[in-house]
Amino acid sequence: MSVLLLNASYEPLTVVSWKRAITLMVTGRAEMVEQDGNRVVRSSGGAEFPLPQVVRLMRMVSFAGMRRIRPPRFSKAALSIRDGRQCQVSGCPDRGTTVDHIVPRSRDGATSWENCVLMCARHNSVKGNKLLSELGWTLRSTPTVPAGTIMLVPAYRAEWAQWLATGGLVGS
């Protein structure tokens, strides 16, 4: 179970394991901001600890490069988050399951945030190595590099949306 770790200023820092989060809480270095339902963790000594969902450090931390803005690494999982897991062809209600290059690789299109979108298998198959303009298709939105410095893709939980939105990180 993953736990969102916030800085003392409530800015999202990273994701830690529930064990690490409880250790930070027990040692007084962090406090629980949100509990994961009514779930608890029991120690072998019989002590019970609430299972955290979001914890906040008691002291502000900073590290080299913390404020440096870097685009997140491109991946299908991150693209799926950016595109809301939906096919990006206008009017298509289907789930996006394939990565499509707007300018096909066969026409020297790059694998980048600005040139890739999610498409359903049907649209991707029809598109092939054609351009969108050749088919008369439009996209829901112009693909861009996601804002923010951290992509919490593998561990993202819907319950974290309010914390990630305030920190300017990619989520939902």
Return the H-helix or E-strand segment holding 76. Answer: helix 76-82
Q: How confident is the model at residue 167 (pLDDT cuts 50, 70, 90)?
A: very low
Task: Yes or no: say if 130 and 26 are a contact pair by the CB < 8 Å rule.
Answer: no
Instruction: State the pTM of this model.
Output: 0.55
Residue 5 forms beta bridges with which residues? 14, 55
Q: In this predicted model, what pLDDT tens digit does every residue of 106-159 receive, in sequence order?
A: 999 999 999 999 999 999 999 999 999 999 999 999 999 876 544 554 555 667
Q: What is the pLDDT of residues 65-94, one digit of tens each?
A: 555 556 777 888 888 888 989 999 999 999
